[in-house]
């Protein structure tokens, strides 16, 4: 099987997956736009893996494929970092909510408790 076929099929499958997730509203728009952008870069690259050979030699790399790999790894690292950051923020938010719920629940219990006493 040729390299071109492999990369093209993978690229198309990825794009289809992204579009489907967006269509089912499983991806927030801010991520959707990012991933559509990624898809639009990946598809032409997967059809013509040597398209960026020129750019690659400018950065001192032997082949465009290396450049794409390098860029992909950097991109994935940034995405992972971003996700860790988002998770940290979400944990802080759920923690605050949990505390709030415990405080409110205690107040409710106290109030219903005193109601019972009055009866």
Partner 1 sequence: MIPALNEAGAITGVIAEIRAELPGVDVLVVDDGSTDSTAREAGKAGALVASLPYNLGVGGARRLGYRYGLDGDYDVVVQLDADGQHDPKFVPQMIDALDEGDVVIGARFAGVGEYRVRGPRSWAMSFLSTVLSAVARTRLTDTTSGYRATNRRGTALYAQFFPVEYLGDTVETIVQAVRHDLTVRQVPVAMRPRVAGTPSHSPIRATIYLGRAFSVLVLALIRR
Contacts with partner 1 by CB under 8 A lie at 91, 95, 98-99, 101-103, 105-106, 110
Instruction: Tell me if 50 sits within 8 A of 63, measured CB to CB.
Output: yes
Q: What minimum distance in Å lies between the beta carbon of 102 and partner 1?
A: 4
Block residue for tokens 């629940």: 105
Q: What angle do CA 115, 118, 119 make, to 5 degrees?
A: 90
Instruction: Tell me if 86 sits within 8 A of 80, measured CB to CB.
Output: no
Q: Which is nearer to partner 1, 60 or 113 (CB)?
A: 113
Q: What minimum distance in Å lies between the beta carbon of 96 and partner 1?
A: 9
Q: What minimum distance in Å lies between the beta carbon of 92 and partner 1?
A: 9
């Amino acid at each position: 099987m040729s390299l071109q076929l492999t990369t093209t099929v993978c690229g198309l499958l990825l794009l289809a997956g992204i579009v489907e997730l967006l269509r089912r509203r499983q991806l927030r728009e801010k991520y959707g736009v990012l991933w559509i952008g990624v898809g639009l870069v990946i598809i032409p690259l997967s059809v013509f893996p040597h398209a960026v050979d020129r750019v690659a030699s400018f950065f001192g790399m032997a082949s465009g494929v290396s450049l794409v790999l390098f860029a992909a790894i950097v991109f994935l690292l940034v995405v992972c970092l971003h996700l860790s950051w988002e998770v940290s923020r979400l944990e802080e938010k759920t923690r605050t909510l949990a505390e709030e719920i415990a405080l409110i629940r205690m107040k409710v219990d106290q109030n219903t408790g005193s109601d019972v006493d009055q009866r």
